[in-house]
Amino acid sequence: KAGVTQTPRYLIKTRGQQVTLSCSPISGHRSVSWYQQTPGQGLQFLFEYFSETQRNKGNFPGRFSGRQFSNSRSEMNVSTLELGDSALYLCASSLDSGGAMDTQYFGPGTRLTVL
Amino acid sequence: DQQVKQNSPSLSVQEGRISILNCDYTNSMFDYFLWYKKYPAEGPTFLISISSIKDKNEDGRFTVFLNKSAKHLSLHIVPSQPGDSAVYFCAASAGGSNYKLTFGKGTLLTVNP
């Protein structure tokens, strides 16, 4: 079974621009979460989507948004990019069977550099 | 406020010996804990988890211990192998939903041949 895929793997943008990152979850997984990893703050939760609805949200400004499509694929968007948005953005998917705790499986990430 | 802390940024161990990675947490609402391993240029890979109703969980060479009263968990790797060299993240979630994980900042484990 294919793992979580993220595109693009690397991206360079300038301040003020906006960016869209894409995530395809493992087949059959219905929940998609996004995380930001920076050297200073570590891995921080951005938001989680399930059935095309944002179900959980972290403490990030409104410039960070996302959506999920009917096939569970997800995109996240960052508008008005700032230098501090340079980070590795990780997507994780899980089954969400509604029963026991699900494991989140991570993609390789998108490395965003803001100049 | 860092709710999950890994106080050792790095750890070096000889091949064949035990590696012990530690993690402390402050949020008493956390009820599910996980360890992930991360190699450079890859996403974190799930290793092992433990629910707060248990105090130990084993999977092959990996064992996680949970001490709820001390709000402390540890990951034991026995025996350590050079391929275990990676950054190890401790993560926690609360309220029966593991979709919002709070991560520690990681410990770089180096296993020397």
Distances (CA, A) of B37 to A57, B4, B51: 24, 16, 19
pLDDT tens for A96-114 read: 766 556 788 999 999 999 9
At residue B108, φ and ψ (nearest 5 deg) are -85, 115
Residue-wise pLDDT tens digits, B37-74:
999 878 999 999 999 999 999 999 999 999 999 999 99
Q: Are B84 and B38 in contact (CB under 8 A)?
A: no
Asked if residues B39 and B110 have their Cβ atoms less than 8 Å apart, the reply is no
In DSSP terms, B23 is beta-bridged to: B73
pLDDT at A54: 92
Residue-wise pLDDT for A13-53, tens only, equals 999 999 999 999 999 999 999 999 998 888 999 999 998 99
* Distance in angstroms (rounded) separating the CA atoms of residues B94 and A100: 14
| Predicted local confidence at residue A96, as pLDDT | 74
Check pLDDT > 80 for residue A95.
yes
For residue B79, what are its two tokens?
Answer: 């025996």
Q: Are B90 and B72 in contact (CB under 8 A)?
A: no
Q: How far apart are the first and last CA of chain A?
A: 37
**A19 Cα to chain B: minimum distance (Å):** 20
CB A91 within 8 A of CB A102: no
Count the alpha carbons within 13 Å of A109 in the hemisphere toward its beta carbon.
Answer: 21
Mutation target vs B (from A101, A103, A110; most B CBs, 10 A cutoff): A101
Tell whether B1 lies on the interface with A, counting CB pairs under 8 A.
Answer: no
- Which residues from chain A sit within 8 angstroms of residue B46, using beta carbons? 103-105
